[in-house]
Amino acid sequence: MTPSPSSPMSSLSSPAPLVRLVNAFGHPLDIAVAAARTCYSPRIVTVPEVSATEKARTLRDRIARETYAAGHHTTLQHAVFQFTLERVSRQLVWSLLHAHPFYNSEQVSQRYVPVNLSAMTVPRLPGEAMEALFRSAGQRAMEAYSRLTEMLMPAAGQAWFELFPARRSQREKHLGTIRKKAMEAARYVLPVAAWTHLYHTVSGLTLHRYVRALSFCDVPGEARLLIESMAEAVRALDPDFFHSLQDPAPLEETPQFRLLQSLDRKASAAVPPPEDVLTFRREFDAPLTDGRVSLLTDWNVRGEATLADAVRHVLGLPRAALTDEAVIAAVLSPDGNPLLAEPLKLVTMDKLSRCLQLVHYTFRKKLSHTADSQDQRHRMTPAARPVLARQYAVGHPDFVTPALIAACPEAEDFYRTELAELFGAIDRLLAMGADAESALYLLPNAFPIRFDESGDLLSLHHKWTTRLCLTAQEEIWRASRNEVSAVAEIHPAIARCLGTPCTLRRRAGLTPFCPEGPRFCGVRAWSQDISGIRRIV
């Protein structure tokens, strides 16, 4: 059941998120308890017998309560729920639904699907003037996206046909692809309030965690509407599943609240003093020189030796059997380890490949909100992402400019003007008394997210392989190039085995080298040094 926007419990003036439970395991509580009982049974305890009699149901309820209270929650992961979610802001997806590793989502792409210019989340603001200002600014940004797309079409077309000169004679045939390139850059001006829709699949344990932690995200009002609707849909399937469901934990229980309070800073979601944010920005950005968007800040000092030793240990080889470099090539180069180049990524199932998990790297990163929304989908490279309001400085617009916009002076002037208007509207809303949660829905996709990210070599290898492809989102491609170049300076034997997907397929002897088929980027990247590749689209 979805609360109506006029309901007292609603924090939105726009329609509330639309939630549908489209698939689920039947009898989820019985499944969880059957799994729990099987742990201490000489046989498999079946789901039907868990609730076959009154005595069995009494036992079920006791086991459910006791395992929950004791923290034995893996049993709740056996129950899986698949939802379709509509009328959800991009801000909520970034801040809650995709901010943890335990989910699966397939979301509509802003890169390739035109945005509905009237579809956005509008918070319930105190006063008609505030709501009118919010709607006007949001609608202007939506229209700016449409206009910017048209302005970028000539530059996108020029860049596209430089990659594929033979296609100039069939210009009309490729206009759809060129438009997508223009849309990909134009979307940076869209507010994070823009609606999205997605399939979202989670376990029963994740659903419990959503309820408990919904106040921790940047938009707890919208989160409450969404999560309560998801929980209600599950209750309709099994009224007993949430037998021990806890209320949402208050913001005051979060470590960030307590730390800020101890420092005599405002611990709520209010934006901090601008001078604090500007000082933070300068300190964070200072090392990001020469156009870097990702900087290596920590790593295993003995990374190559650790990897080589681990491989020898798995195979029971003495140190004299193989040099470190030969061992690394055997496990990390696709001609020695073809599993690295195959689509199904069997490396997590292979004993030797799992040695790559012992080498770790940490990076300082600065990506736009829209790029980071894709970056965070790499759930095995976790990051410490910010409380968004803490990085906002009133009166000081802050944004990332895509390469295609920067290459078109007229479009860049328009882009900067429209972003100045959008940031100005946010500042006016805050000055009028709007809370940060509501006002920051107007943040553009271009707003920079400054954060730290870490990962093991196995997970980073997968990420770098996919994101070094020139069809990947531009900023993540640049970040991946920065990261691989940084690894080359400290671990050259490892870096020699890294590259674009087409490079790895070539080394593994797989054809065609490019796995993208008709989406081939137009660059023979398999025969080039990635540090020398430049791109606009």
Tell me 288's DSSP state. Answer: -
- For the chain, list the domains and their CATH numbers: 18-111+195-253 (3.30.1360.170), 128-193+406-441 (no CATH)
Residue 3's pLDDT band (boundaries 50, 70, 90)?
very low
Residue 508's pLDDT band (boundaries 50, 70, 90)?
confident
pLDDT of residue 2: 37
CA distance to 119, 362, 364, 388, 464, per residue, from 460 (Å): 35, 11, 15, 25, 6
Residue 7's pLDDT band (boundaries 50, 70, 90)?
very low
Strands 360-368 and 80-89: unpaired
pLDDT of residue 21: 98
For 304-346, give the secondary structure using H, E and C: HHHHHHHHHHHHCCCHHHCCHHHHHHHHHCCCCCHHHHCCCCH
Judge contact between 450 and 282, C-beta under 8 A: no
Q: Is the pLDDT of residue 8 over 80?
A: no
Residue 97's pLDDT band (boundaries 50, 70, 90)?
very high
- Tokens encoding 340: 């690295």
Torsion sign, CA atoms 481, 483, 485, 488: negative
Q: Is the pLDDT of residue 110 over 90?
A: yes
Cα 533 to Cα 521: distance, rounded to the nearest angstrom? 12
- Tokens encoding 489: 């300076």
Residue with tokens 């893996």: 74
The string of DSSP letters for 132-198 reads HHHHHHHHHHHHHHHHHHHHHHHHHHHHHHHH-GGGGGGGGGGHHHHHHHHHHHHGGGSBTTBEEEE
Residue 451, beta-bridge partner list: 365
Task: Round the average pLDDT of the chain to a whole number and report it.
Answer: 94
% of residues, the chain, pLDDT over 70: 97
The string of DSSP letters for 42-55 reads SSPPPHHHHTSSHH
% of residues, the chain, pLDDT over 90: 82
Each residue of 45-59: pLDDT tens digit?
A: 999 999 999 999 999
Give the closest residue to 451 by CA, choosing from 272, 297, 269, 249.
297
pLDDT of residue 282: 98
Judge contact between 472 and 308, C-beta under 8 A: no
Residue 69 burial (10 A CB sphere; 0-12, 13-18, 19+): exposed
pLDDT of residue 377: 95
CA distance to 47, 333, 416, 507, per residue, from 382 (Å): 36, 25, 32, 29
Q: Who wins on pLDDT, 282 or 269?
A: 282
Each residue of 434-443: pLDDT tens digit?
A: 999 999 999 9
Judge contact between 519 and 111, C-beta under 8 A: no
pLDDT of residue 534: 82
Residue 515's SS3 state is coil
* Residues 6 or more apart whose Cβ sits within 8 Å of residue 420: 397
Cα 191 to Cα 198: distance, rounded to the nearest angstrom? 18
Q: Is the pLDDT of residue 73 over 90?
A: yes
List the end-to-end C-alpha distance of the chain, in Å, as a whole number.
Answer: 43
Judge contact between 491 and 304, C-beta under 8 A: yes
**ω into 512 cis (within 30 of 0):** yes
Average pLDDT over residues 328-348: 90
Torsion sign, CA atoms 388, 391, 394, 396: negative
Q: Is the pLDDT of residue 313 over 50?
A: yes
The string of DSSP letters for 393-452 reads -TT-------HHHHT-HHHHHHHHHHHHHHHHHHHHHHHTT--HHHHGGG-BTTPEEEEE
Residue 5's pLDDT band (boundaries 50, 70, 90)?
very low
Q: Is the pLDDT of residue 310 over 60?
A: yes
Average pLDDT over residues 179-185: 96
Residue 366, beta-bridge partner list: 450
pLDDT of residue 265: 65
Tell me 252's DSSP state. Answer: G
Each residue of 291-308: pLDDT tens digit?
A: 999 999 999 999 999 999
Q: Who wins on pLDDT, 529 or 57?
A: 57
pLDDT of residue 533: 84
Q: What does residue 316 show for φ and ψ, rounded to 5 degrees? A: 65, 40
- Tokens encoding 118: 């009237």
Residue 269's pLDDT band (boundaries 50, 70, 90)?
low
* Residues 6 or more apart whose Cβ sits within 8 Å of residue 488: 495, 496
CA angle 297, 267, 433 (to 5 degrees): 115
Residue with tokens 């410490």: 384
pLDDT of residue 291: 93
Give the closest residue to 479 by CA, choosing from 284, 288, 290, 294.
294
Q: Is the pLDDT of residue 358 over 80?
A: yes
- Tokens encoding 321: 């059997």
User: Which spans in 21-127 are helix H?
Assistant: 28-38, 47-50, 54-70, 90-92
Judge contact between 482 and 467, C-beta under 8 A: no
CA distance to 131, 162, 204, per residue, from 442 (Å): 12, 36, 33
Judge contact between 71 and 244, C-beta under 8 A: no
